[in-house]
Amino acid sequence: MSTLLLAACSAGNDGIGAVGSLGLPASVPYQHSNAIAPAGFRESQLAPNQYRIEVTGSANASQARLEKIAATRAAEIGRDNRLRYFKLDNLQHTTRCTPKRSTYRGGGHGELNYRVLTADVAYAPTPPDATYLESRRAFDQLRAELDLPEAPSETAPFACPG
């Protein structure tokens, strides 16, 4: 039973961002990431009004898409937790490489390369300056933009040092 469940989870569905046999889809979905589907976002709360959001995408995911997902998630957290205004800060674009892995039974995966964006988010009840966005309004707008068809990415995939 568990083998069937794992097979279904790893079968790959590019529409929802699951991992196929060759890695992640080019378009990063707006979803929580996890061990089976690493494309997406995760967050951690650093303080009552401060979060860190990490967005993971494929090697050819655009930085603009990663930033839009981070902003959308920040706005959603603010909306859901009644944190009225937010600001993204300290955006760091990095890469993560997972070496080729094989198992003694012949399974495994090839090298997996990821683009990763980490951003700090500050929330405030009133906007301290013009760089803060209203959570509810920003979420509605950004979420609608993420649902639009994405233009083909001109971002070239990178190769990890070998």
Q: pTM for this structure?
A: 0.77
Domains: count for the chain: 1
Would you state the pLDDT for residue 150?
A: 76
159, part of any domain:
no
User: Does residue 115 sit within a domain?
Assistant: yes
Q: Element (H or E) spanning 47, and its range?
A: strand 40-47
The answer to whether position 97 is within a domain reads: yes
Cα angle for residues 16, 32, 56 (degrees, 5° grid): 85
**Backbone angles phi and psi of 95, in degrees to 5:** -130, 155
Distance separating alpha carbons of residues 109 and 23, to the nearest angstrom: 8
Signed CA dihedral, 161, 154, 22, 8: sign only: positive
Q: Is the dihedral of CA 32, 13, 139, 56 positive or negative?
A: positive
**pLDDT tens, position by position, for the chain (162 residues)?**
333 333 333 333 333 333 333 445 567 889 999 888 889 999 999 999 999 999 999 888 899 999 999 999 999 999 999 999 999 999 999 998 877 666 667 665 566 788 999 999 999 999 999 999 999 999 999 999 998 887 766 666 666 766
Q: What is the pLDDT of residue 161?
A: 65
Angle value at C-alpha 55, between 51 and 56, nearest 5 degrees: 150
In the chain, helix, strand, coil percent, each to 5? 25, 35, 45
Q: Report the distance separating Cα 29 and Cα 18, nearest Å.
A: 9
Residue 107 lies in a domain: yes
In a domain, 5, yes or no: no
Type and span of the H or E element at 78:
helix 63-80
Q: Residue 39's domain spans which residues?
A: 11-147
